[in-house]
Amino acid sequence: MLQALIFDLDGTLTHTDSLHFSIWQSYLKEYGLDIDLRFYQEHISGRHNPDFLKQLFQELTLEEIQQISDNKEARFRQLAQDQLKPLSGLEKLLEWLISKELLSAIVTNAPRQNAEFMLNALKLNQFWNTVVISEELPMAKPHPFPYQEALRRLNIAPNSAIVFEDSPSGIRSAVAADIFTVGITTTHNEDVLLSNGASLVISNFNDPQLKTIGVLT
């Protein structure tokens, strides 16, 4: 029986990927790395900042990598202030969730400052039983631990939840935690999401396919 809906944040609750790409493209150029959209989608999108930065800049210290991440995310918060809007159909879905007395969680690779900033900007703070921040855990997505932690906090089994994710790393994380995972095509196409393990792919939360899995019924 369905007991909870679990959501990624960036690219799932709101469109942010184009802004993240633009900032990373500009920022990494200062370090001699000129990236295009394909590189961003394959190596950066949805991943924990320190994880991919360690791979890109093996000569930098952990402190330097963290500073790059912190500076980039501060720039994101500055630019995103007036740009964030809920993904189409999200508000209706959250109202349905409350009406059915389901549990809810967010699981994100974003730093806590970003998560709090985005939820405040979207006016969505009141909907969550818990917010799982990957950087505060031993492992981030694509490791299953962040979603396993969400299950632990909600005190439910994997087959009692549905996850909504937009990135390959997030989908792999949720699938590895044995949770039914719905991919959202805000940042990657359907083939990419399915190839990473999504069981269903939608464009937004108005998609009528959600009724086939018992959501919005």
Distance in angstroms (rounded) separating the CA atoms of residues 18 and 211: 29
Q: At which of 33, 60, 80 does a domain end?
A: 80
Asked whether residue 50 carries a pLDDT value surpassing 90, the answer given is no
User: Is this prediction's pTM over 0.95?
Assistant: no
Please tell me the total count of domains within the chain. 2
How large is the average pLDDT for residues 127-156? 97
Whether residue 170 sits in one domain with residue 148? yes
What single letter denotes the amino acid at residue 91?
A: E
Whether residue 209 sits in one domain with residue 166? yes
Whether residue 23 sits in one domain with residue 11? no
Whether residue 182 sits in one domain with residue 117? yes
**Can you give the residue range of the structural domain that contains 31?**
17-80
Distance in angstroms (rounded) separating the CA atoms of residues 179 and 171: 10
Whether residue 72 sits in one domain with residue 91? no
Whether residue 156 sits in one domain with residue 104? yes
Could you tell me the CATH number of the domain that includes residue 208?
A: 3.40.50.1000
Percentage, residues of the chain above pLDDT 70: 100
Structure tokens at 87: 């993904």
Whether residue 169 sits in one domain with residue 128? yes
Q: At which of 80, 96, 119 does a domain end?
A: 80
Q: At which of 80, 102, 126 does a domain end?
A: 80
How large is the average pLDDT for residues 77-93? 90
Whether residue 57 sits in one domain with residue 134? no
Whether residue 149 sits in one domain with residue 92? yes
| Residues catalogued as catalytic | 8, 10
Residue 85 confidence (pLDDT): 93
Whether residue 199 sits in one domain with residue 127? yes
Whether residue 123 sits in one domain with residue 200? yes
Band the pLDDT of 179: cuts 50, 70, 90: very high
How large is the average pLDDT for residues 161-165? 98
Question: Is cis: bond before 142, omega within 30 of 0?
Answer: yes
Residue 133 confidence (pLDDT): 97
Residue 170 confidence (pLDDT): 96
Q: Torsion angle, CA of 135/140/145/150, rounded to 10 degrees? A: 50
Whether residue 10 sits in one domain with residue 23? no
